[in-house]
C-alpha cells in the first residue's frame, strides 16, 4: 500500500511538472501569435467592406470565425501567465455573485432568470479577484453551453462546509459528463465541443490551486454537471 501511494504521488508530481511546463510554453507561443492574428483579422474586416461573390463572402466569414476562435484560445492561454501572480483579497460571495451574474448575462446576452442563486448571509473567501472572476466565468459559460436554458437551469450555491471553509457549486441541468471523459476533464486542450478551446476547466483548476482552493467534478442532483470549489479557510478564521 505504501509503495502504491508513493508511485501515485510521483506520477502526480510528474504530471504537475509536465502541465506547468506546457503552460509556460503555450503562454509564450500565444503571446507571439497574437500580433499576426490581429493583422489577419483586421485585413479580413477590411476585405468584407467591398463587394464580393457569395463564395468569397463565405470564405471571409470562415476567416473571421476561425481568427475569433484562435483569439479566444490565445486569451485563455495567456491567463496561465497570471497563475503565479496571486494578489489575494477578501471577497464576499454573497455580495459579489449577484453582480457577477448580471454582468455575465449582459455579455452572453441571456436572461438572468436562467440563473438561480443560493447564498448564505455572509461568505468571505481569500482569493485573487481577477482569478476568481476568470474561474467563475469559465464554469458559468460551460454550464450555459450544456444547459437547457430554462429558468433556473444554472444554479450557483454557496455555503459553509464543516471545518469552516466556504464552498461554491456551479450546477447545470444538462446531460452531465460522460464517465469515459472524467479522467481527462481537467486536462489542457481536451474538449467535446467544437466551439470550445479545451482550456476553460484546466485554467479554472490551475487558478484555484494557485489560491489554495480545490475544484472537483460531481454529478449534479438532477443528473447534470456540478463543479464544486472548496476554498481555503481564511487565516483569521483558523482555529475558531
* Mean pLDDT on 85-90: 86
Taking Cα atoms as reference points, which of 127, 137, 89 lies closest to residue 232?
A: 127
Q: What is the pLDDT of residues 158-191, one digit of tens each?
A: 998 877 789 999 999 999 999 998 988 988 777 7
Q: What is the pLDDT of residues 130-141, one digit of tens each?
A: 889 989 999 999
17 pLDDT higher than 90? no
**Could you give the domains of the chain?**
2-82 (1.10.287.130), 88-237 (3.30.565.10)
- The mean of the pLDDT values for the chain is 83
Q: What are phi and psi of 172, to 5 degrees?
A: -120, 170
**Percentage of the chain modeled with pLDDT above 70:** 80
Confidence tier at 236 by pLDDT (50, 70, 90) = low
pLDDT score of 162: 79
Q: Are 40 and 63 in contact (CB under 8 A)?
A: yes
Q: How many CA atoms lie within 13 A of 208 on its CB side?
A: 23
Distance, in Å, from the CA atom of 116 to the CA atom of 114, rounded to the nearest integer, reads 7
Rounded CA Rg of the chain: 20
User: Considering the entire predicted model, what is its pTM?
Assistant: 0.71
pLDDT score of 107: 84
Distance, in Å, from the CA atom of 240 to the CA atom of 222, rounded to the nearest integer, reads 35
To the nearest 5 percent, what fractions of the chain are helix, strand and coil?
55, 15, 30
pLDDT score of 135: 93
Distance, in Å, from the CA atom of 11 to the CA atom of 9, rounded to the nearest integer, reads 5
150 pLDDT higher than 90? yes
pLDDT score of 18: 64
Q: What is the pLDDT of residues 207-222, one digit of tens each?
A: 899 899 999 999 998 8
Distance, in Å, from the CA atom of 79 to the CA atom of 107, rounded to the nearest integer, reads 19
Instruction: Collect all residues with Cβ–Cβ distance below 8 Å to 95 and sequence separation of at least 6.
Output: none
Amino acid at each position: 500500500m505504501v509503495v502504491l501511494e508513493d508511485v501515485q504521488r510521483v506520477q502526480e508530481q510528474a504530471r504537475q511538472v509536465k502541465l506547468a511546463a506546457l503552460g509556460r510554453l503555450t503562454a509564450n507561443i500565444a503571446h507571439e501569435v497574437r500580433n499576426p492574428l490581429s493583422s489577419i483579422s483586421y485585413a479580413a474586416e477590411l476585405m468584407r467592406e467591398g463587394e464580393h461573390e457569395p463564395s468569397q463572402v463565405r470564405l471571409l466569414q470562415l476567416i473571421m470565425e476561425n481568427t475569433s476562435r484562435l483569439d479566444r484560445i490565445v486569451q485563455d492561454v495567456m491567463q496561465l501567465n497570471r497563475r503565479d501572480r496571486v494578489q489575494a483579497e477578501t471577497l464576499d460571495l454573497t455580495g459579489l455573485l449577484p453582480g457577477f451574474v448580471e454582468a455575465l448575462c449582459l455579455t452572453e446576452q441571456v436572461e438572468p432568470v436562467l440563473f438561480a442563486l443560493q447564498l448564505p448571509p455572509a461568505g468571505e473567501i481569500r482569493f485573487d479577484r481577477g482569478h476568481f472572476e476568470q474561474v467563475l466565468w469559465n464554469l458559468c459559460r460551460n454550464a450555459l453551453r450544456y444547459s437547457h436554458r430554462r429558468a433556473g437551469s444554472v444554479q450557483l450555491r454557496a455555503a459553509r462546509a464543516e471545518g469552516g471553509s466556504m464552498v461554491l457549486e456551479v450546477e447545470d441541468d444538462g446531460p452531465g459528463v460522460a464517465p469515459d471523459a472524467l479522467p481527462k476533464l481537467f486536462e489542457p486542450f481536451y474538449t467535446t465541443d467544437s466551439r470550445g478551446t479545451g482550456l476553460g476547466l484546466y485554467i479554472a483548476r490551475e487558478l484555484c490551486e494557485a489560491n489554495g482552493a480545490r475544484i472537483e467534478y460531481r454529478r449534479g442532483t438532477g443528473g447534470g454537471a456540478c463543479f464544486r470549489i472548496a476554498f481555503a479557510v481564511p487565516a483569521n478564521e483558523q482555529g475558531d
